[in-house]
Amino acid sequence: MLDFDTCDAARLRKDPAFDGRFFTAVRTTGIYCRPVCPVKPPLSRNVRFFPSAAAAEAAGYRPCLRCRPETLPFSPAWMGTQATVTRALRLIADGALDHGGTVAALAGRLGVGARHLSRLFAQHLGASPAQVARTRRLARAKTLLTDTDLPVAEIAKAAGFGSVRALNAGFARLYGRSPGSLRR
């Protein structure tokens, strides 16, 4: 177990490096939290530190409803919004935004709104879901161009583009050349 001063400093900084390494229990409320909990930090004189959620519960504390410290490390609940982004990336890789798929439909499959999904992508990836999908489609198309002898029309379809024209426009925007010239 880490010493009190190290834990207290990490808790006040909300340092993600310490997430899961200790749990903060607040004597005045009877609640225990993760070091990254978004609530206002309690006074240092009112806290105790435990090496596990089970130890905090055994001492009579109940879990925080905001940071959910009782969940298993690296479960979707533990990872928070990153879990939603990870699921969205998996669906995008499987073609959720190809062939006319919309961000609203993707968000619906994830159980969130389209605006919220866009905010999560901006926060975690710095790009929109549509931009991520476009980049993945272009990467798939480039791999198919360089590694296969498929005609460009089949590559466009296989990579998730609606038409050869969309593939050509994407390549012109990103690479400044046509797919055919890239293949050569």
Catalytic residues: 33, 37, 64, 67
The pTM of this model reads: 0.62
Q: At a CB cut-off of 8 Å and minimum separation 6, what does 24 contact?
A: 7, 11, 32, 33, 34, 35, 37, 42, 47, 48, 49
- Return the higher-pLDDT residue of 107 and 175: 107
Q: What is the mean pLDDT of residues 75-86?
A: 78
Res 2: pLDDT: 83
Res 100: pLDDT: 81
Percent over 90 (pLDDT), the chain: 67
> Is the per-residue pLDDT at 71 higher than 70?
yes
The domain ranges of the chain are: 4-63, 79-127, 131-183
Residue 46 pLDDT grade (very low, low, confident, very high; cuts 50, 70, 90): very high
Q: What is the mean pLDDT of residues 168-179?
A: 90
> Is the per-residue pLDDT at 153 higher than 90?
yes
- Written out in words, the top-level CATH class of the domain with range 4-63 is alpha beta
User: At the topology level of CATH, where does 131-183 sit?
Assistant: Arc Repressor Mutant, subunit A (1.10.10)
Q: What is the mean pLDDT of residues 55-63?
A: 93
